[in-house]
């Protein structure tokens, strides 16, 4: 049972335009959400996060939006740059149990073209 | 600042062989994790640790064992490797259950033939 879903395996966007990556989740206990970026042959690197008490978090060109009622979050990249080409993973966490384990989506490969 | 370091980066095993993957972090983080990444599956949690001397099962623990004898190290063992364990393995660490951002190592690509 996939609790975090990224339904678009790939996305192609022109340089300078907006990239929108989407993520849906099913577990109502998730209260913290993160986006990771991954280049080939490297480990994932943290990009941006959002707590469930907020509906938006912005960091430079990156903005994450959270719609709790729809159990949906999105990552906006504006403007998109060629260096943004990577696989983006959405992750979610609940503050229950003994550790705040991350549950990951399957990833979306973003290609930013010139 | 090295962050999270995994050893080795690549390995080829024969079915039935054993091996240990080493993860070391220099950030004094309490929590450490082992994930595997497979095509179309995202990252799945194998085992994790909430502190020195502790370990717990994640989503896909079968066929793996772990140990955390020192706070900075988290070892992942395969006692009898199977082709289904061919994957890329990532170690990660995080500060505590409040600050949940995890920092990842560069990965170990394991092939079992």
Token duo for residue B108? 């170990």
Q: What Rg, from alpha-carbon coordinates, does chain A have?
A: 14
In B, which residues are within 8 Å of A9 by CB distance?
40
Contact B101 A49 (CB under 8 A): yes
* pLDDT of the residue at A98: 64
* pLDDT of the residue at B61: 97
Confidence of residue B55 (pLDDT cuts 50, 70, 90): very high
Q: What are the residue ranges of helices labelled H in chain B?
A: none
In B, which residues are within 8 Å of A5 by CB distance?
none
Contact A46 B101 (CB under 8 A): yes
Residue-averaged pLDDT of chain B? 94
Main-chain dihedrals φ then ψ at residue B85, nearest 5 degrees: -95, 5
For residue B42, give the nearest of A42, A101, A105 by CB distance: A105
Q: Does the structure show a pLDDT above 70 at B1? A: no
Residue A1 touches chain B, beta carbons under 8 Å: no
The 8-class DSSP code of residue B81 comes to: -
Q: Does the structure show a pLDDT above 90 at B84? A: yes
Angstrom distance (rounded) from CA A92 to CA A29: 10
* pLDDT of the residue at B91: 97
For residue B104, give the nearest of A9, A41, A44 by CB distance: A44
Contact A101 B94 (CB under 8 A): no
| Ranges of chain A whose pLDDT falls below 70 | 97-99
Confidence of residue B63 (pLDDT cuts 50, 70, 90): very high
pLDDT more than 90, % of chain B: 88
Q: Does the structure show a pLDDT above 70 at B96? A: yes
Main-chain dihedrals φ then ψ at residue A36, nearest 5 degrees: -120, 150
* pLDDT of the residue at A2: 84
pLDDT more than 70, % of chain B: 99
């Amino acid at each position: 049972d996939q609790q975090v879903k990224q339904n678009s395996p790939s996305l192609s966007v022109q340089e300078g335009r907006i990239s929108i990556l989407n993520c849906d989740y099913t577990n109502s206990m998730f209260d913290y959400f993160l986006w990771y970026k991954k280049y080939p042959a490297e480990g994932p690197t943290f990009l941006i996060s959002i707590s469930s008490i907020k509906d938006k978090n912005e960091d430079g060109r990156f903005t994450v939006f959270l719609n709790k009622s729809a159990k949906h979050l999105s990552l906006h990249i504006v403007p998109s740059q060629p260096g943004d080409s990577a696989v983006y993973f959405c992750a979610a966490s609940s503050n229950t149990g003994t550790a705040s384990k991350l549950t990951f989506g399957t990833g979306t490969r973003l290609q930013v073209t010139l | 600042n090295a962050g999270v370091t995994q050893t080795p980066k690549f390995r080829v095993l024969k079915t039935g062989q054993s091996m240990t993957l080493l993860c070391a972090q220099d950030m004094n983080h309490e929590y450490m994790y082992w994930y595997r990444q497979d095509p179309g599956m995202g990252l799945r949690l194998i085992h994790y640790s909430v502190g020195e001397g502790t370990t717990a099962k994640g989503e896909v623990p079968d066929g793996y064992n772990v140990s955390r004898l020192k706070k900075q190290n988290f070892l992942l063992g395969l006692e009898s490797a199977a082709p289904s364990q061919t994957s890329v393995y990532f170690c990660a660490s995080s500060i505590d259950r409040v600050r949940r951002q995890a920092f990842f190592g560069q990965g170990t690509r394991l092939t079992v033939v």
